[in-house]
Amino acid sequence: MTQGYPRRLLEYHRPSLLDQYDALERFADQLETRRSVRDFSPDPVPLDLIDQAIMVAGGAPSGANQQPWTFVVVTDPALKSVIREAAEAEEHETYAHRLTPEWRSALEPLGTDWRKPHLTDAPVLIVVFEQVYGLQTGQPEKTTHYYTKESVGIAVGFLLAALHMAGLGTLTHTPSPMGFLQTILDRPVNERAYVLIPVGYPVPDCWVPDIAKKSLDDIRILK
């Protein structure tokens, strides 16, 4: 019989309904100000802030508690330049040949193109990798991972929220395909790049598209 995890008492104190609404409102107000940033200040970011945000992400729930993620933090300017060059090569090919008319139409209001200066402007890049399967050090056997993409997606959400709460700007960047990141960052064969996140302080007078989010009635259905 498989030995289960030991059990401990849940640390939980039920708040008053007023405190529940207050906490949620404050959290919502803070996250409502988050926007994707493409214009970053060169001002350095304390690495312990990044580490604390990654620890928040590492506390996300995951399938079978396998925590199938790796967070690679890149601050070296030369390495960021290599990443930008490779990303722009893929993006140039995408914008020139891969985009369908519908995809191009969806991107057009955002004003994006294959050029990605934020990859070198931002003082920090966080590349999140999903561990498609597990590998034990020195052992050839693979460990099956369950709900990997779902788990990593939740962790990325935690990470974005944590970085925003720390006063940092972020952008979710997914050049496709992203295999070059595995090669450049020398990651093992069981890891696949999931998302590339530039992190830093927005430049003064940073402009972003004036977009709107769907209303509650558009996204919630009561049964």
What digits encode the pLDDT tens for the residues 182-197?
999 999 999 999 999 9
- The answer to whether residue 15 is domain-embedded is no
- The answer to whether residue 10 is domain-embedded is no
In the predicted structure, residue 140 carries a pLDDT above the cut 90:
no
- The answer to whether residue 2 is domain-embedded is no
Terminus-to-terminus CA distance in the chain, angstroms?
41
- Name the nearest CA neighbour of 114 among 101, 124, 104: 104
| Residue 162: per-residue pLDDT | 98
pTM: 0.94
Q: What are 152-161's pLDDT values in tens digits?
A: 999 999 999 9
In the predicted structure, residue 45 carries a pLDDT above the cut 90:
yes
Q: What are 50-80's pLDDT values in tens digits?
A: 999 999 999 999 999 999 999 999 999 999 9
In the predicted structure, residue 135 carries a pLDDT above the cut 90:
no
141 confidence band (pLDDT: 50, 70, 90): confident
- The answer to whether residue 125 is domain-embedded is yes
CATH of the domain at 94: 3.40.109.10
Q: What is the residue range of 151's domain?
A: 37-202
- The answer to whether residue 86 is domain-embedded is yes
Per the structure, how many domains does the chain have? 1
- Name the nearest CA neighbour of 60 among 160, 206, 191, 167: 160
| Residue 89: per-residue pLDDT | 96
Distance, in Å, from the CA atom of 129 to the CA atom of 156, rounded to the nearest integer, reads 10
- The answer to whether residue 84 is domain-embedded is yes
| Residue 179: per-residue pLDDT | 94
CB of 171 within 8 A of CB of 116?
no
